[in-house]
Amino acid sequence: MVPSALLITLGSVTEDDRRLAELSDPDGRLVVLLEQIWAGKITRDHPELSHHLEDVLGTVRPDHAEPDPREDRRRYYRRRVGPSRWLLVVVSFEQQPGRIVTALATRRDPKRWKQ
C-alpha cells in the first residue's frame, strides 16, 4: 500500500499524458506514472502486476536503488511486495518530471544488493 503522503495529485494534463499519479523519489525528484505506460506497457507486458498499482508506486520509495544501465535512469526495488520476491520499477529522468517507464516482478536480488 502506498502511504497517502506519496500521492501528490491525481489528474490529467492531456488525453495522451493522463497522469495516474505523481510522487517524489527519495531525492525529492518528481516522478509520474502515465496511464499509457501503465495500461499500454506495464500491465500488458506484466499482467501479474495489474492489481499492484499501489505497490508499483510505493517502490519509488525503495528498499534498494541503483543506476540503470541506460543513462539518466534509476532502478528502484522493494522486497516482499507484489507477486514475487522483488518488485522492480525503472524511472527515466531523461525528461522532467521523471517517468516510470517499466515495472516487473523478479525473484533475483539486485546486482548491488547487500543484506
Dump pLDDT digits (tens) for 2-61: 444 444 333 334 555 799 999 999 999 999 999 999 999 999 999 999 999 999 999 999
Segment 55-82 shows an average pLDDT of 95
Read off the C-alpha cell for 17. 499524458
pLDDT of residue 115: 64
Answer whether residue 1 shows pLDDT above 60.
no
pLDDT of residue 18: 92
Q: CA dist 23 to 4, 6, 20, 56, 106, Å?
A: 10, 5, 10, 12, 23
pTM for this entry: 0.84
The owner of cell 500521492 is: 7
Q: Are 79 and 85 in contact (CB under 8 A)?
A: yes
